[in-house]
Structure formats: C-alpha cells, structure tokens
Amino acid sequence: MTGTLIAQSLVNGVVLGMTYVLVALGFTLIFGIMRMVNFAHGEFYMLGAFVTFFAFAQFQIPFIVSLAIAAIIIGCFGMLIERVIFRPFRGNELNGMIAALGLAIIIQNAALIMWGADPKPMPSVATGILKLGPLIFPWSRLYVIGAAAVIIALFYVVITHTSLGRAMRAVAQDTEIALVQGIRAERIYPFAFGLSVALAALAGGLMGPVFGVSPTVGLAPMLKAFIVVIIGGLGSIPGALLGGLLLGIVESFASTFLGATVSDFLLLALVMLVLIFRPWGLMGVREA
Amino acid sequence: MSISQTTEVPNADHMPAATQGRHVWRNFIIVAVAVAVVPLITSSQYYLHVAILVLINSTFSTSLSIIARTGQLSLCHAGFASVGGYISALGAMRLGIPPVFGIFIGGAVAGLVALPLGWIILRLRGVYFVLVTFTFGQLLTLLALDLQSITEGANGLVGVPPLSIFGYAFVDRVPFYYLAAGFAGLVFLFTWRLLGAPAGRNFTCVEENLQLAESTGIDTRKTQVIAFVIGSFIAGMGGALMTHYIRYISPDSFTFWSSVAFITMMVVGGRWALAGPFIGALIITPLPELLRDTGGFQHIIYGAILILVLQFLPDGIASISQRVKAISRRRAQP
C-alpha cells in the first residue's frame, strides 16, 4: 500500500518536475544570455496552452503536431516581442524587468478578453493505465514524462551541437569575448528569446490536459520556475534540470504525506536554506 | 557580472532634493490645501472613495520608492501590506487590540518579517532580490489560504472593526478621508526627511554606484536592509489602514498584481522625484475607473502606459518639468 503510494508520488513528482524543468530552462536560458528577468514567461506558458488547446481540441490536429504548432507560433511571437518591446531596455536590468511586468499585464488581459476567464477542459491525450505488478500508472502522466524528456533532449542537442547553440553559450559566458569572436549578439537575442518562450509554450501545452487551460494558469508555473532557478542556480542549465526534478519530487511527496500547507512551508524553507548556505545555487557559478 | 555593478557617472537628477527645503514645504502646503478642500467640492461618496484609495496608494508607492532608492525592486510590497492588514485585523477581532495600535503592530510585524528576509537575500546582488521577493509574496498568499483556522482561508476576515480614536469611529467617508490624508502627509514628510538625512543619502549612493559606495565606507548591505525594512514597515501600516477602511481582508486583497500596480505608480510618477510616487498614485488609481467603458481594455492600456513611460519618459511624469526647464534654458542661451 505504502509502496504503491510512494511509486505514485514519484511518478507525479517527475511529471511536475519535468514541467518545471521546461519552464525554468527557458527562463534561465534568457537570463544567462540577455541578463534579463522575463516576468512575462508564465504568460507564454499560458499562450502555449491555449494554442495547443485550439489546435488539438477544436481542429482535431494530433497532439504532437499541436504542440509543435504552439512552439512555432509562440516562438515567432516571442522573437517579435523581443525586437519591439525588450530591445530598448538592453543593458538596463531593472527597467527591462518592469517592462516585462507590463507585458505580462497586457498578454494576460488580452487573453481574458479573447477567450474568457472560464477554464477550458482539454481532452486527455492518452487513456488507460500501465500495470507493473501492484503499481498502476496512468498513461496520461507517463506521456508527459516521455514528451518532456524528448523536448529536453532536443534542446540539449540544439544548445550543444548547432552553431546557433554554440553562439548562445558563448554570449552567455562572456558577451564581449563573443563579440570579438565575430558573434553578433544582437542577432542571437531574438532566437534565444524565441527558443526560451517556445519551451514555456511546450510546457503549457503538455500540462493543458492535466491542469486545464485558462488565462491565469501562467503565474503558478512561473513561481515554480523562480524557485527552481534559485535552487539550481540562475543562468545554469544543468541547475534547472536538477532543481526542477528535485522541486517536483519534494512537492509531490510533501503534499501526499504531509499535506498542502506543510508542502508550501517546506518550499519556502528550501529556498531560504539554499540562499543561506549556497546562495549561488546547487549548480550555479559563484559570482565574485 | 550583474548590471547593478556597472560603473555609471552619478546622475544629479537622482539626488534627493533635500537642499531645496523651502521649495518642498511650499509645494507640500499647496498640495495639502488642495487635498483638504476635496470633500468641500464634492459630496459624492464614490469620488471620496477613489480619493481615499489615491491617498493610501500614495503611501504604498512612496514606501516602495524608499526601497527603490537603494536600487532594489520589491515584488512583495503588497505581501507586506497583507501582513499588516491581517495582523491588525486579527488583533482587533480576536484579541481586542484597538486598531489605532494594531496599525503600528501590523507595520512592525511586516518590518520584522522583512528584516531577516532582507538580511539573507541582500547578500546577493541584483536580480535575486526580485526573484525572492516575488516567491516570498506568493508564498505569503498561499499561507493566508492554507492557515484556515486563523485566517478563514479564501473567505477572508469579514467585519473587521473600524478605526476609532477616543471612542470616535472613523466609519464615514469624510472623516476617514482626512485620516488617510494625514497618514499620507506623514509618510511623505518622513520620506523627505529620511532621504535628506545622512542615512538616506547613502541610499542614493548605493543605487548610483555600489562599488564606489562600498569603497567609501558605506555598509551597502546594511543600507539596503534598512531601506527594505522601513519601506515594508510603511507598507504594513498602509495595508492595516486599508483593511480597517474596507473592513474586510482576504488573500485576494493584496496580490502580486497589487505589487505590480504600486510599481506602476512609482515608475509612471517618477522614481527619483520626491513627489513622483504621489503623482503616480493620483494618475494610476482612478485610471481603471475612467477607462471602464473600454470593456476590459483598461488593463491593457495600463500595461501599455507602463512600457511607454519606461521607454520614453524613464524618470516619470515628475521629470517633465525638469525637461521643460532644461529645454528652455538651452533655448535661452544664444
């Protein structure tokens, strides 16, 4: 009985953790490259959930294709946003952050006007259960884990094995040296931003069937992404992976065995402990 | 490398105008008289309600600007207002503490919560402060929802007693309006005095150039913690005052979006001018009411105003007069 509960919590934790990883990866990527805190990141998650919902539930397009459509549309939208709204605030961290807050207000309320406040139920992607002895896993959850793993692997390949990915990492490590090497940072930024928000959109689309789709779904995953990057280290991609999975599993176990209140307290305690003892995060680089 | 560490030439505009004491007094008295005659001009309860909100909001945006003076952006300002509101309301309802004292206790608790939080996160430079204050504010909202036995959860506390002094209860709009005006005036004068004092001047030094401030012997972390605690203390008092006015508080009373609204007021009004946050509250508070006919577009306009002001008028509306002066001075020269 307890064994089943533990296995169940673990699967739920990994499902949560995978989404946190997807949201946090984009967030930490954009901070690493552009030194920008994107407070509208959660709104791109929400937009991704809506685009996936319309493609999958309204137009009956296969789920995987719907996800790809969401990633492409939101990615292009992100590139446009980067050029139009964020470019003037380059180098001004504080004003860029406040502008992102303004953008979050605009996107969220535009979604409210267009699609209404009522949550839209997204049909399940997969039905049935997987039985492994006494353990029972719903396919709908395992599906999220599989899809997220594939997306993270693709992201890893893009970052490590393409010239665009190498250029992004170079700019993140040292913008000036990257410029000297002939990398045009100004050209990299829109792609990095598009990639970042496309990841958020994918997370939103994947979690649509689990959490539902409404204009206000973006704030909660953004909060979790913040906690993940504080734990993992701001700007660190391995840190986002580790922090996301850790947070998902801790949260799942704590809310199953200790209740939601204790779980929330535990998250706060975790953040504070990391800030006291390892303020640069588990995988982050210590800044002088 | 973080942006807050880049070396900048100190900007004279950012220095508090503490030397122009007579100037500030004159303008303060003009505004105070204008504020005082509002209830004589209109007897509309609705207009008075909006005016009261403007005054209380001005204390939020002004206290936020104290923190911003040290180069930090707190996304937990509404969280501290909520702490003050809950503490004062619970004290009055459960323990019978008069709200007059409850407001101070609420502010003190908010400040006491801000102290260790600030001490821990202000060791880190720049952006971590924003991330952690956002996280902390969200967790405060979650706690207010979770601790049902104390806070009544999502239902909130209904029937918070009104503020009363010597048996006189501030229930009607007009007396409460003058009370809120008095509080807003005190917060403004306190902020002016604080920024003019040596401790307050350190705030600006820390914002302008952290390394230089550090190397001239200013304890930058302590300075930032002091500003954070003072700002949060005032936010807690403002939250308590608001709660005794509305006579209701719930986890939805002060949310992340309220913090964003306070930031908008501060930025639109002008971060570096003493009167900027007040001007911002005056303009931004009635905006959703004025734009109500636009059918949901008011929030979008709100966000657009924030971005446009940041881009084209980064020092806010308060800087317009300086800009005009600078242009006319340039014209005057042959």
The shortest C-alpha distance from B80 to chain A (Å) reads: 16
CB contact under 8 A, A268 and B303: no
User: Which residues in chain A have their CB less than 8 angstroms from residue B73's CB?
Assistant: 94, 97-98
- Domain ranges in chain B are 31-255
User: Which residues in chain B have their CB less than 8 angstroms from residue A109's CB?
Assistant: 296-297, 299-300, 303
CB contact under 8 A, B310 and A261: no
- pLDDT class for A238, splitting at 50, 70, 90? confident
User: Which residues in chain A have their CB less than 8 angstroms from residue B135's CB?
Assistant: 223, 226-227, 230, 268, 271
CB contact under 8 A, A102 and B142: no
- Nearest beta carbon to residue A113 from set B126, B135, B296: B296
CB contact under 8 A, A35 and B120: no
Nearest CA in chain B to A31: B127
Residues in Cβ contact with A219 at an 8 Å cutoff, skipping those fewer than 6 apart: A42, B138, B256
Residue A285 at interface with chain B, using a CB cutoff of 8 Å: no
pLDDT at B84: 94
Residue B292 at interface with chain A, using a CB cutoff of 8 Å: no
Q: What is the pLDDT of residues A249-282, one digit of tens each?
A: 988 888 888 877 788 778 878 888 888 888 777 7
pLDDT at A282: 78
Residue B146 at interface with chain A, using a CB cutoff of 8 Å: yes
User: Which residues in chain A have their CB less than 8 angstroms from residue B128's CB?
Assistant: 230, 234, 275, 279
- pLDDT class for A45, splitting at 50, 70, 90? very high
Structure tokens at B40: 């004589």
- Nearest beta carbon to residue A98 from set B125, B263, B297: B263
Nearest CA in chain A to B121: A275
Pick from B250, B235, B265, B19: which is nearest to B108 by CA?
A: B235
- Nearest beta carbon to residue A99 from set B71, B131, B310: B310
Look at residue A287 and give its three-state secondary structure: coil
Residue B171 at interface with chain A, using a CB cutoff of 8 Å: no
Question: What does the angle CA B61 – CA B66 – CA B68 come to, to the nearest 5 degrees?
Answer: 85
Containing A136, the helix (H) or strand (E) segment is: strand A135-138
Q: Measure CA of the first residue to CA of the last residue in chain B; give whole Å.
A: 45
Residue B71 at interface with chain A, using a CB cutoff of 8 Å: yes
CB contact under 8 A, A279 and B267: no
Q: What is the pLDDT of residues A98-147, one digit of tens each?
A: 899 999 999 999 999 888 888 888 887 777 778 777 777 778 788 888 88
Spell out the alpha helix ranges (H) of chain A.
2-34, 41-53, 63-81, 93-115, 139-161, 163-173, 175-180, 185-211, 219-232, 237-257, 260-277
Q: What is the pLDDT of residues A151-172, one digit of tens each?
A: 988 988 888 888 888 888 888 8
Look at residue B17 and give its three-state secondary structure: coil
Percent of chain A scored above 70 by pLDDT?
98
pLDDT at B228: 92
Angstrom CA distances, B315 to A107, B118, B301, B322, stand at 25, 26, 20, 10
Residue A287 at interface with chain B, using a CB cutoff of 8 Å: yes
Residue B74 region by backbone torsions, left for phi larger than 0, else alpha for psi between -120 and 50, else beta: beta
Examine residue A35 and state whether it is found in any structural domain, yes or no: yes
Quote the pTM value.
Answer: 0.86
pLDDT at B63: 93
CB contact under 8 A, B300 and A271: no
Question: What is the mean predicted confidence (pLDDT) over A51-56?
Answer: 92
Which residues 134-193 in chain A show a CB within 8 A of chain B? none
- Nearest beta carbon to residue A260 from set B124, B128, B146: B146
Residue A31 at interface with chain B, using a CB cutoff of 8 Å: yes
Residue A58 at interface with chain B, using a CB cutoff of 8 Å: no
The shortest C-alpha distance from B295 to chain A (Å) reads: 9
Examine residue A232 and state whether it is found in any structural domain, yes or no: no
pLDDT at A53: 92
- Interatomic CA distance for residues B135 and A224, integer angstroms: 8
DSSP secondary structure of B202-232: HHHHHHH-HHHHHHTT--HHHHHHHHHHHHH
pLDDT at A255: 84
The number of C-alpha atoms within 13 Å of A111 and in the hemisphere containing its C-beta is 26
- Nearest beta carbon to residue A106 from set B130, B142, B303: B303
Question: What is the mean predicted confidence (pLDDT) over A180-191?
Answer: 84
Question: What is the mean predicted confidence (pLDDT) over A224-243?
Answer: 86
Residue B119 at interface with chain A, using a CB cutoff of 8 Å: no
Q: What is the pLDDT of residues B39-88, one digit of tens each?
A: 888 878 888 888 999 999 999 999 999 998 888 889 999 999 999 999 99
Question: What does the angle CA B143 – CA B128 – CA A221 come to, to the nearest 5 degrees?
Answer: 50
Query: 């009985």: which residue's tokens?
Result: A1
Please give the residue range of the domain that contains residue A121. 14-218
CB contact under 8 A, A93 and B310: no
pLDDT at B1: 34
User: Which residues in chain A have their CB less than 8 angstroms from residue B311's CB?
Assistant: 88-89, 99
Examine residue A233 and state whether it is found in any structural domain, yes or no: no
Q: Which residue has the higher pLDDT, A207 or B169?
A: A207
Question: Structural domain tally of chain A?
Answer: 1
CB contact under 8 A, B131 and A109: no
Residue B150 at interface with chain A, using a CB cutoff of 8 Å: no
pLDDT at A181 over 60: yes
Nearest CA in chain B to A280: B124
- Interatomic CA distance for residues B118 and A142, integer angstroms: 41
Question: What is the mean predicted confidence (pLDDT) over A201-218?
Answer: 87
Q: Are A1 and A134 in contact (CB under 8 A)?
A: no
The shortest C-alpha distance from B106 to chain A (Å) reads: 22
- Residues of chain B whose pLDDT is less than 50? 1-12, 15-19
Nearest CA in chain B to A288: B1
CB contact under 8 A, A230 and B128: yes
pLDDT at A77 over 60: yes
- Nearest beta carbon to residue B139 from set A35, A88, A267: A267
CB contact under 8 A, A226 and B134: yes
pLDDT at B108: 95
- Interatomic CA distance for residues B307 and B303, integer angstroms: 6
Which phi and psi angles does A284 have, rounded to 5°? -75, 170
> Which of A20, A105, A112, A287 to mutate to probe the B interface, most B CBs <10 Å?
A105
Examine residue A187 and state whether it is found in any structural domain, yes or no: yes
Residue B256 at interface with chain A, using a CB cutoff of 8 Å: yes
- Interatomic CA distance for residues A44 and A137, integer angstroms: 30
pLDDT at B234: 95
> Which of B117, B123, B138 to mutate to probe the A interface, most A CBs <10 Å?
B138
